[in-house]
A and B are shown apart, each in its own frame.
Chain A
Amino acid sequence: MELVFKNTTGLVSVPRHYCPGCTHGVIHRMVAEVIEELGVRESAVGISPVGCSVIAYNYFNCDMQQAAHGRAPALATGIKRVRPDLTVFTYQGDGDLASIGTAETVQAANRGEKVTVIFVNNAIYGMTGGQMAPTTMPGQVTTTSPAGRDVNHCGYPIRVVELLATLRTPAYLVRVSAHDEVHLVQAKQAIRKAFRYQLEGRCFSFVEVLSICPTNWGLSPAEASQWLANTMIPYYPLGEIKTPDDGPVTEAHHAQ
């Protein structure tokens, strides 16, 4: 019997610590599959964040570095600038990337670092126990917004992809979702494309993956997927927001 879907060699075959139904595991697997399919496992360096996926370095079957909270894009910059032959990716959550690491994210994108950022947005801080994230939905109850996120008190959720899309530097910016199998198939394509752009030396590539957190949302995995589809996707529209092939780029003004 031939295996038509077999476990990727991009991941170490150990049980992962994620809660039942948590889509971190799926996203890990898709990134690892892309690394294997593109034949870059032996030149890949991944960077794990602080948060639920902090020990991703034990799961990816490639060289890994562990970054301080939010600093993964800075580490990626350091690695890629001195070793452009390596395939560098960061794997970050919403607290890590969109809160404490906002500066590193925006600046790495603006410099056009030839790295790939995988941004897992599950609208909550998972590891620390379900606190409000910069991407928490309006009205969403968390352990630090017990009455629901009040947008008058702490603003609206940050749409990172759209924020980065305002930068002039060419980039591949895409938002996908991991909540069901159909969207996962699309997510995989986006991740593959993101790594391809890096390998071609084209641009900074950034894949935001909407993700579920059944444990901290207090929902079953199936209910959590429904909640993501009904609540998050309308606010976080899916699709390619920017590609390096986009539009005619206006030339900068030069003195005559």
Chain B
Amino acid sequence: MPRVLIDSVLCKGCERCVGACPQRILGLSKELNAKGYYPALVLHQPRCIGCCLCAITCPDSAVQVGLNGNQYKLFEY
């Protein structure tokens, strides 16, 4: 099972990951972080396919993706 890990301290709430997610499982928190942004949030983790596009598109190195088990490599990055 893949898992999206968002660093809510580094996130600036630009929503690039929200738009990039093919599964539409990301959104913004309703609470401000210390910098005054609404950080990104995983709304429905089980639907994640581990494509990493959220992490690829993040300008602030705020997203990492973890994996338990095996997964098909979807594309070359």
A and B touch in the complex (CB under 8 A): yes
A interface residues (Cβ-Cβ under 8 A, vs B): 1-8, 11, 13, 15-16, 18-26, 29, 180-181, 184-185, 188-189, 214, 220-222, 225
Identify A29's interface contact among B19, B61, B66, CB under 8 A. B61
Asked if B20 and A181 make an inter-chain contact with CB atoms under 8 angstroms apart, the answer reads: yes
CB of B77 to closest CB in A, whole Å: 5
Asked if A221 and B15 make an inter-chain contact with CB atoms under 8 angstroms apart, the answer reads: yes
Chain A residues whose C-beta falls within 8 Å of the C-beta of B14 in the assembled complex: 20-21, 214, 221
Give the number of residue pairs across the A-B interface with Cβ within 8 Å: 88
B interface residues (Cβ-Cβ under 8 A, vs A): 2-3, 9-10, 12-16, 19-20, 35, 37, 50, 52-53, 55-61, 63-68, 71, 75-77
With most chain A CB atoms within 10 A of its CB, the pick from B9, B57, B67 is B57
Identify A5's interface contact among B37, B55, B68, CB under 8 A. B55
CB of A38 to closest CB in B, whole Å: 15
Asked if A22 and B56 make an inter-chain contact with CB atoms under 8 angstroms apart, the answer reads: no
A1-B67, A21-B12, A21-B14 given as contacts; is B57 within 8 A of A181 (CB)? Answer: yes
Chain B residues whose C-beta falls within 8 Å of the C-beta of A7 in the assembled complex: 61, 64
- Cα(A7)–Cα(B52), bound, Å: 12
- Further 6 A-B residue pairs, CB within 8 A, beyond A2-B67, A15-B10: A6-B64, A16-B60, A18-B60, A21-B59, A29-B59, A220-B15
Asked if B59 and A5 make an inter-chain contact with CB atoms under 8 angstroms apart, the answer reads: no
Chain A residues whose C-beta falls within 8 Å of the C-beta of B57 in the assembled complex: 26, 180-181, 184
- Cα(A25)–Cα(B61), bound, Å: 8
Identify A3's interface contact among B20, B65, B76, CB under 8 A. B65
Asked if A24 and B67 make an inter-chain contact with CB atoms under 8 angstroms apart, the answer reads: no
- List 10 A-B pairs, Cβ < 8 Å: A1-B66, A2-B67, A4-B71, A15-B9, A15-B60, A25-B58, A26-B57, A29-B61, A185-B77, A222-B19
Asked if A20 and B12 make an inter-chain contact with CB atoms under 8 angstroms apart, the answer reads: yes
- Cα(A29)–Cα(B10), bound, Å: 14
- In the complex, which residue of chain A has the Cβ closest to the Cβ of B35? A15
Chain A residues whose C-beta falls within 8 Å of the C-beta of B52 in the assembled complex: 4-5
